Amino acid sequence: MHPMKRKESMTVDKIKQVLVASGAKPTAQRVAICKYVLCDGDHPTAEVVKVWADQNFPMVSRATVYNTLNLLVAKGLLKEVKLPHTNKVMYDCNIDHHYHFYNSATDALVDIDPKEVVMKSNVTEKYDISKIEITFHGKQRKK
């Protein structure tokens, strides 16, 4: 079993392209936030994004952090992940269908490739299923 691989970093120009392509103005704040959440961040919360922004950008307000994250989600460039162990939303740059493993020992979230999971159910006979979420909770197995 191997976790899904992370996104590669993007140049500022590439990020601008992506924003423009999705119909959003590539403002300085948006580009900065994108650099983090679309490439470097590992399931950050809005709070984590704000801390990163405060350390790496002259000025980004909390409202802009939330506005930008919501914009990216609306444009399909980012996914919201809500898990029961916390009530903070986490943002996932992996927009392909996948599941999650939450490591309670380290508080880390790992993407699980759907290929690693076989799920069959007759629930689909009675219902129109639009989404299936699977989250594994546990700890890294000791070697």
The entry of a second copy, DNA, none that residue 61 binds, CB within 5 to 8 Å by partner kind: DNA
The entry of DNA, a second copy, none that residue 35 binds, CB within 5 to 8 Å by partner kind: none
Q: Contact 137/83 with Cβ under 8 angstroms? A: no
Which is closer to DNA, CB of 69 or CB of 110?
69
Which is closer to a second copy, CB of 10 or CB of 83?
83
At 45 the three-state DSSP class reads strand
At 115 the three-state DSSP class reads helix
Residue with tokens 């601008």: 16
Q: Contact 17/33 with Cβ under 8 angstroms? A: no
Q: Contact 3/112 with Cβ under 8 angstroms? A: yes
Task: Please tell me the count of residues contacting a second copy according to CB under 8 A.
Answer: 36
The entry of DNA, a second copy, none that residue 15 binds, CB within 5 to 8 Å by partner kind: none
**Chain mean position to CA 54:** 20
* Ramachandran class of 138: left when φ > 0, alpha when ψ lies in -120 to 50, beta otherwise: left
**Chain mean position to CA 109:** 10
Task: Please tell me the count of residues contacting DNA according to CB under 7 A.
Answer: 22
- Considering only residues 42 to 61 of the shown chain, the ones binding DNA according to CB under 7 A are 45-47, 59-61
Site string for a second copy, 104-133 (x = CB under 8 A): x-------x---xxxxxxxx-xxxxxxxxx
Q: Does 66 bind DNA (CB under 7 A)?
A: yes
Interacting residues toward a second copy by CB under 8 A? 1, 80-84, 87, 101, 103-104, 112, 116-123, 125-141
Interacting residues toward DNA by CB under 7 A? 24-25, 27-30, 45-47, 59-64, 66-68, 70, 87-89
